[in-house]
Amino acid sequence: MRRHRKSLWASGILSMTAAVCCGLVFTAAAAVLSAALIYYVMGEMGLSKAFAGFSLGAGACIGAYVYGKYRRRWGLFGGSLCGALMYAVIAAAGVILLGEPAGIKKLLLLTICGAAGGVAGVNSKRPKGLMDQ
């Protein structure tokens, strides 16, 4: 029997929201792990900016990869948009919590890593359970 409802990935807005949430969760997890690594293993704060940048880039790349893998089209544009939306969420949180938005470097980092993840996701192997949209 066929399914009568559309996939989450058939809708552009819902799929982008899911990918951005996935990227933000991965970014938070990577930030927590890098903070634990800095605190317990390294003991000094010299590389904290590098670890934060890596966490942001990896989160954007993973979120855009998920979007590209399941959406199967528009990898470069969708990945860039995923990174830009992640920046919007992070900048809004920065304005609310700290009173100042995130810098332009973060936007560039998230957009470029998101574009790379989106292209890699579109060009990856097709998921087994994915139905045509």
pLDDT value at position 69? 87
CB-count exposure of residue 85 (10 Å: 0-12, 13-18, 19+) = buried
Q: What is the pLDDT along the chain (133 residues), one digit of tens a residue?
A: 565 667 766 677 888 899 999 999 999 999 999 999 988 888 788 888 899 999 999 999 999 999 998 888 888 999 999 999 999 999 999 999 998 888 899 999 999 999 999 999 999 887 676 665 5
**Interhelix angle for 48-71 vs 12-37, to 10°?**
150
Q: What distance in Å separates the CA atoms of residue 58 and residue 101, rounded to the nearest whole number?
A: 21
- pTM of the complete model: 0.84
- Residues present in the chain in total: 133
CB-count exposure of residue 54 (10 Å: 0-12, 13-18, 19+) = middle
pLDDT value at position 14? 86
Task: Yes or no: say if 104 and 84 are a contact pair by the CB < 8 Å rule.
Answer: no
Q: What distance in Å separates the CA atoms of residue 81 and residue 100, rounded to the nearest whole number?
A: 22
